[in-house]
């Protein structure tokens, strides 16, 4: 439960990186840029929060990018073509994606299959289904969309905290509380420590697995709705590769890929680091946007190496840490 040292390192990387960016481009250090950064990465922050739960429990969810894509297409068609009120469309897609995640979790548990394979299948399925609905980008013109897009809290210095950024922050905070304070959260860590042992200790492993993947898919659905607000359209090719971006954010945030340790706050910092790199490249103007990926790759390597080092240290138990009272 001591997720602190890796998170601290992530925080230091973020602050140092931001300071370096601000030195080169003083304009970066403004609430305007920070507000945009939060808005641009709102969907990633939401989906990475769900991914954190999955990875701490010892699993992985490759389907989230496709679920986002499917959600945008579904929402766009439901509102524009099928004439559904937006709220009804949102509820429908959230129920649908939660059920999708629950089904993946159930398959993983019942047939004892590797999550990698099951969610890979889910990834193809969801992406294929969104092509089935529409291969073209469907613009959304419903009034609620412009209302939400126009809404923002004004921060000092001219920055705007948009509705979708607020949604993301609320979900991140909710995720932190859920993981830290509840029995559900403790069980997520327990599963990551060892499924067989957790089961012996009384954790309902099957139920937990279903709930964890349900949570991940549900958050992917919310991320999809947020993405549709962000782009005002539904497109079956949107959010390709987002599952990998979110895994990267989780790992950079100090969560062990093998499960058992990690934190949502770390993931949030990981998302901000990726956003910061993107922002820097935008400011520079001469660099290709692929440099984001390269920088992320380098950071990932560094963090994985760091984790291996920390894990190796942790393997040596401190035997004389405590003695027995007489």
To which residue do tokens 């103007």 refer?
A: 285
Which one, of 234, 244, 246, lies nearest residue 175 by Cα? Answer: 246
Query: For tokens 């289904």, what's the residue?
Result: 129
Taking the complex as a whole, the smallest distance from the CB of residue 321 to other proteins amounts, in Å, to: 6
Residues that bind other proteins (CB under 8 A): 1-2, 181-183, 186-187, 189-190, 192-194, 197-203, 260-261, 314, 317-326
Is the Cβ of residue 158 or residue 309 nearer to other proteins in the bound state? Answer: 309
Shortest separation between residue 1's beta carbon and other proteins, angstroms: 5
DSSP single-letter state for residue 26: G
Cβ burial of 298 (10 Å; 0-12, 13-18, 19+) is: exposed
Is the Cβ–Cβ distance between 274 and 203 less than 8 Å? no
Which residue number, 285 or 326, has a Cβ lying nearer to other proteins? 326
CB atoms within 10 A of CB 290: 9
User: From the CB of 292, what's the least distance to other proteins, in Å?
Assistant: 33
Least distance CB 179 / other proteins (angstroms): 11
Query: Which lies closer to other proteins via its Cβ, residue 312 or residue 324?
Result: 324
Q: How far is CA 152 from CA 91, 141, 166, in A?
A: 23, 19, 9
Asked if 55 and 259 touch (Cβ cutoff 8 Å), the reply is yes
Distance CA 264, CA 114 (A): 24
Smallest distance from other proteins to CB 312, Å: 13
DSSP string, 288-304: -THHHHHHHHHHHHHHH
Number of neighbouring beta carbons within 10 Å of residue 287 = 14
Give the DSSP H or E segment for 114.
none
Instruction: Report, in Å, the least distance between residue 2 CB and other proteins.
Output: 6
Would you say 180 or 293 has its CB closer to other proteins? Answer: 180
Nearer to other proteins, 159 or 260 (CB): 260
Q: Is the Cα dihedral 303, 306, 308, 313 positive or negative?
A: negative
Say if residues 211 and 184 touch (Cβ distance below 8 Å). yes
In whole angstroms, how close is the CB of 54 to other proteins at the nearest point? 16
The phi, psi pair for 64, rounded to 5°, reads -60, -40
**Closer residue to other proteins (CB): 81 or 207:** 207
Q: How far, in Å, CA of 89 to CA of 142, rounded?
A: 12
Pick between residue 10 and residue 261 the one whose CB is nearest to other proteins: 261
- Report in angstroms how near the CB of residue 191 gets to other proteins at its nearest: 9
Closer residue to other proteins in complex, CB, 181/302? 181
């Amino acid at each position: 439960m001591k997720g602190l040292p890796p998170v601290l390192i992530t925080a230091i990387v973020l602050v140092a990186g931001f300071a370096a960016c601000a030195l080169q481009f003083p304009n970066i250090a403004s609430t305007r840029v920070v507000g945009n950064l939060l808005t641009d990465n709102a969907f990633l922050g939401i989906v990475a929060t769900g991914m954190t739960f999955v990875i701490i429990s010892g699993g992985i969810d490759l389907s989230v990018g496709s679920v986002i894509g499917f959600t945008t297409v579904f929402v766009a068609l439901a509102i524009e073509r099928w004439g559904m009120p937006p709220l009804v469309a949102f509820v429908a897609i959230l129920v649908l994606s939660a059920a999708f995640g629950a089904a993946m979790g159930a398959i993983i548990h019942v047939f004892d299959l590797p999550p990698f394979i099951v969610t890979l299948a889910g990834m193809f399925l969801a992406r294929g289904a969104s092509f089935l609905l529409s291969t073209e980008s469907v613009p959304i013109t419903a009034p609620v969309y412009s209302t939400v897009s126009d809404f923002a809290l004004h921060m000092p210095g001219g920055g705007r905290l948009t509705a979708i950024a607020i949604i993301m922050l609320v979900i991140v905070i909710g995720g932190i509380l859920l993981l830290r304070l509840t029995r559900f959260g403790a069980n997520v860590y327990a599963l990551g420590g060892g499924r067989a042992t957790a089961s012996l200790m009384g954790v309902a492993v099957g139920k937990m697995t279903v709930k964890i993947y349900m949570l991940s898919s549900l958050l992917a659905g919310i991320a999809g709705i947020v993405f549709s607000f962000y782009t005002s359209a539904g497109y079956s090719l949107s959010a390709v590769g987002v599952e990998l971006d979110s895994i990267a954010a989780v790992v950079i945030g100090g969560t062990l890929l093998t499960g058992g340790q990690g934190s949502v706050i770390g993931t949030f910092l990981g998302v901000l680091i990726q956003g910061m790199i993107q922002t820097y490249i935008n400011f520079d103007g001469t660099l290709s946007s692929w440099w984001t990926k390269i920088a992320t790759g380098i950071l990932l390597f560094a963090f994985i190496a760091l984790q291996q080092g920390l894990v190796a240290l942790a393997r040596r138990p401190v035997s004389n840490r405590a003695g027995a009272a007489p």
